[in-house]
Amino acid sequence: MRGQFTYSKKVLSHFRKPHNLGNIKNPSGLGEVGNLACGDVMKLYLKIEDDKIEEIKFETYGCAAAIATSSVITDLVKGKTIEEALKMTNKEVIDSLDGLPPIKIHCSLLSVDALGEAIYDYLVKNNREIPKELEERHRRITTLADHH
C-alpha cells in the first residue's frame, strides 16, 4: 500500500505538529463526526463569545489527512464569526493544505462537517435560530451516522 499517494509538505507539517490539538472544558459547541468506513473520528470544540470563535480545539483519531484537515480548519476559522465559519468549504481546507490525494478528500469533508456540527450544537444550546442549510447538513450527517 505504501507509495500509492503522497502528502504535501503542509499536510505532513500539520500531521506532525497539529495546531490547536486538545479539548475545551465546557465548550460553547461540540461537533463529533466519524466515517466508520475508514475509521476516522473527529471532535471539534468551540468557545464562542459575541458570535465569534474565540477558541477552537480538536481531537481526531485517524490518518495523517484526517489530523491535518482538523488542524488546518482550526487555523482557518479561529477569530471568525459563526456566519463566516459556516461558509467554510472543504475546497478551502484542501487548498490550504496544498492538496490532498483523491482517496483522502473525504477527510476534508469530515472536518467541515465537524465544524458545522459544533456550530449547530452551539446554536441549539443557546436557543438560536438554525440556518436552513445548517439544519440540512445536520440531518444528512446524523442520517449517515444512523446507517452505519
CB 58 within 8 A of CB 103: no
Beta strands in the chain (DSSP E): 29-35, 40-49, 52-61
Look at residue 2 in the predicted model and tell me its pLDDT: 47
pLDDT digits (tens, 9 = 90+) for 90-147: 999 999 999 999 999 999 999 999 999 999 999 999 999 999 999 999 999 888 766 5
What pTM was estimated for this model as a whole? 0.93
Architecture of domain 9-147: Alpha-Beta Complex (3.90)
Cα separation, 55 vs 44, in Å, equals 11
> Per the residue annotation, which of 66, 68, 77, 107 is the catalytic one?
107
pLDDT digits (tens, 9 = 90+) for 25-35: 999 999 999 97
Q: What are the sequence ranges of the domains in the chain? A: 9-147
Look at residue 48 in the predicted model and tell me its pLDDT: 98
Look at residue 88 in the predicted model and tell me its pLDDT: 95
pLDDT digits (tens, 9 = 90+) for 4-26: 578 999 999 999 999 999 999 99
38 is catalytic: yes
> Per the residue annotation, which of 10, 12, 32, 38 is the catalytic one?
38
| Look-up of cell digits 469530515 | 110
Look at residue 4 in the predicted model and tell me its pLDDT: 58
CB 137 within 8 A of CB 107: no
